[in-house]
Amino acid sequence: MRRIRIFDTTLRDGEQSPGVNLMPQEKIEIARQLERLGVDIIEAGFPITSEGDAQAVQEIARQVRTPVVAALARTHEQDIETAAKALEGAMRPRIHLFTSFSPVHLSYMLRKSEDEVIEISVAAIERARRYVDDVEFSGQDAMRSDPAFVLRAIAAAIAAGATTINIPDTVGYTTPEEYGDLIRRVRREVPGAMDVTISVHCHDDLGLAVANTLAGLQAGADQCEVAVNGIGERAGNTSLEEVAMALHTRRDHFGIETGIVPAEIGRTSRLVSRLTGMLVQPNKAVVGQNAFAHEAGIHQDGVLKERTTYEIMDPQELGQGPSQLVLGKHSGRHAFQTRLVALGYDIDPQRQKELFGRFKALTDRKKQISDEDIQSLVEDELYQLPDPFVLQHYHVSSSDGASATASVAVRNGPEGSPVYREAAVGTGPIEAVYAALQRVTGVEAELVDYQIRSVGGGADAQGEVHCTVSSGGLRLVGSGISTDIIEASAFAYLHALNKAAALRRQTAPATSGGEAV
């Protein structure tokens, strides 16, 4: 199988992402992880741009032993000398020189003719070769340039001693066919091109960076320039993990291998995200948090029976933990039961059925159901008493500086039993609801403790309330859970009142203190 080289530019082009500024120590941490990940070349920085970048390149050059360490430089004498100095301690140093090829860059940025660009590039390559044997040469915006000029400039660069020729699609303009064609032409038509490394470097302005990179590799390029999590200028660079896993997963199709260690991908992605502050979008291929999460009941059922029904990569092999079955409104009974077992519950089938109904009702109010949500649901269900008072409806009105009023409607008994209504006032909404509930149930009970905590995360987290009432000389605890904390409070209080009512029924039949409707 053909082995291609992975040139990682997370620390150079990746760091050019708007808002990213890595400290030298952070760059070193990432470089060491890139070495563990198995990249072949680490582009450590652009030393002329700042003292910090030069220091980081210098330190990475000293610490990294296996990959080549590259430093970027324009074709200017001072850039080359600064890059060469920063690379002094490197085991395998590379100077990466760049100019521009497109008419728009030549007229507005360089203000040079094509011949002048070639002349300056040749001199720069020869200068860089005095310091290192490994010189890469790039012409920015190659894909919006005249192909005849691109081929001529590359031929001159190879003759001057460049060992890698990079063909950047700087503004993410090309398409897979077009890019592949140019790479093939370079190999076929440029003298000496068979003896140097041809590299592809794509940006993602049209979302084509990975497709273009793969097309370039299929057309014969033997190096690709990529960044972890696809970070980089504007819409970013080609994503390292996507190219590596496309080549790995479809090696039957591409017939290309890399030195990337898949098990290090998850860790590398998380480290880069944490240090750059650039969050990975949830649906990002390979490393997004939803890349191996399944919500639809049919998918969950398939994955529970056989993971590969809906997964083409094994997240565990990528250091991403196991596949996840996200419990939400599309989830089915199978996934819910599996989660109950995973949480250690041994619940009879009838109870499971009831719980599943309550779980489904909860998903209408909450997008994603966490393990804590399930635990609370189960505990709530297991503590249910037969024929309890059931909250049907409540309404609260409160404002600052005035007492709150609440009205409640409670059913006494199973579905179809009479519903009773009452209203009450309190110093706050919960006190008002509790007074109305006490009135409607007719259960004498004194609230002695009330606690509330948030269950699950995010804006749609649930409030879990535990309250203790004293009734008939006993202390009874009730709990309730809801995304609405007043409703959770009402559930908890009613739960405790139900226990008190059950005790009372042992001596006399329960009656409601409210008015039936």
> Pick from Zn ion, ligand KIV, none: which does 99 bind, CB < 5 to 8 A by kind?
none
Does the protein bind ligand KIV through residue 140 (CB under 6 A)? yes
First to last CA, the chain: 79
When the beta carbons of 96 and 294 are compared against Zn ion, the nearer one is 96
> Pick from ligand KIV, Zn ion, none: which does 140 bind, CB < 5 to 8 A by kind?
ligand KIV
Rounded distance between C-alpha atoms, residue 313 and residue 65, angstroms: 31
Q: According to CB under 6 A, which one of 7, 8, 11, 13 is a site residue for ligand KIV?
A: 13
**Residue 139 beta carbon to ligand KIV: minimum distance, rounded to whole angstroms:** 8
Phi, psi of 425 (to 5 degrees): -115, 160
Does the protein bind Zn ion through residue 422 (CB under 5 A)? no
When the beta carbons of 234 and 365 are compared against Zn ion, the nearer one is 234
When the beta carbons of 7 and 420 are compared against ligand KIV, the nearer one is 7
**Residue 51 beta carbon to ligand KIV: minimum distance, rounded to whole angstroms:** 21
Does the protein bind ligand KIV through residue 168 (CB under 6 A)? yes
- Reported residue count of the chain is 517
Query: Please, which residues bridge with residue 68 across strands?
Result: 41
Does the protein bind ligand KIV through residue 98 (CB under 6 A)? yes
Rounded distance between C-alpha atoms, residue 37 and residue 264, angstroms: 5
Rounded distance between C-alpha atoms, residue 226 and residue 215, angstroms: 14
Q: Would you give the distance in Å from CA 369 to the centre of its chain?
A: 19
**Residue 233 beta carbon to Zn ion: minimum distance, rounded to whole angstroms:** 6
Does the protein bind ligand KIV through residue 79 (CB under 6 A)? no
Does the protein bind ligand KIV through residue 94 (CB under 6 A)? no
Does the protein bind ligand KIV through residue 138 (CB under 6 A)? yes
Query: Which range binds Zn ion by CB under 5 A, 12-20, 90-98, 451-459, 465-473?
Result: 12-20
Q: What is the 3-state secondary structure (H, E, C) of 34-100?
A: HHHHCCCEEEEECHHHCHHHHHHHHHHHHHCCCCEEEEEEECCHHHHHHHHHHCCCCCCEEEEEEEE
Does the protein bind ligand KIV through residue 173 (CB under 6 A)? no
When the beta carbons of 121 and 138 are compared against ligand KIV, the nearer one is 138
Q: According to CB under 6 A, which one of 170, 197, 471, 482 is a site residue for ligand KIV?
A: 170
Q: According to CB under 5 A, which one of 13, 53, 373, 422 is a site residue for Zn ion?
A: 13
**Residue 363 beta carbon to ligand KIV: minimum distance, rounded to whole angstroms:** 46
> Pick from ligand KIV, Zn ion, none: which does 438 bind, CB < 5 to 8 A by kind?
none
Rounded distance between C-alpha atoms, residue 360 and residue 391, angstroms: 18
- Structure tokens that stand for 292 in this block: 């191996």
Dihedral sign for Cα atoms in the order 414, 415, 417, 423: positive
Does the protein bind ligand KIV through residue 463 (CB under 6 A)? no
Rounded distance between C-alpha atoms, residue 376 and residue 481, angstroms: 7
Rounded distance between C-alpha atoms, residue 433 and residue 20, angstroms: 51
Give me the helices (H) in 221-344, please: 240-249, 251-254, 265-276, 297-305, 333-342
Please spell the DSSP secondary structure of 184-219, one letter per residue. HHHHHHSTTGGGSEEEEEEB-TTS-HHHHHHHHHHT
Question: Which residue's structure tokens are 């920015």?
Answer: 140
Residues 184-243 binding ligand KIV (CB under 6 A) are 201, 203
Q: Number of residues in contact with Zn ion, rule: CB under 5 A?
A: 1
**Residue 90 beta carbon to Zn ion: minimum distance, rounded to whole angstroms:** 22
**Residue 203 beta carbon to ligand KIV: minimum distance, rounded to whole angstroms:** 6
**Residue 199 beta carbon to ligand KIV: minimum distance, rounded to whole angstroms:** 9
Query: Which range binds ligand KIV by CB under 6 A, 61-69, 119-127, 162-170, 338-346?
Result: 162-170
Tell me which residue of 447, 459, 457, 454 sits closest to 492, measured CA to CA.
447
Cβ burial, residue 496 (10 Å; 0-12/13-18/19+): buried
Q: What is the DSSP code (8-state) at residue 106?
A: I
When the beta carbons of 13 and 464 are compared against Zn ion, the nearer one is 13
> Pick from ligand KIV, Zn ion, none: which does 471 bind, CB < 5 to 8 A by kind?
none
Rounded distance between C-alpha atoms, residue 308 and residue 365, angstroms: 32
Does the protein bind Zn ion through residue 79 (CB under 5 A)? no
Does the protein bind ligand KIV through residue 464 (CB under 6 A)? no
Cβ proximity of 409 and 398 under 8 Å: no
When the beta carbons of 13 and 204 are compared against Zn ion, the nearer one is 13
When the beta carbons of 200 and 244 are compared against Zn ion, the nearer one is 200
Question: Could you list the residues that contact Zn ion (CB under 5 A)?
Answer: 13
Q: Which residue ranges make up the site for ligand KIV (CB under 6 A)? A: 13, 98, 138, 140, 166, 168, 170, 201, 203
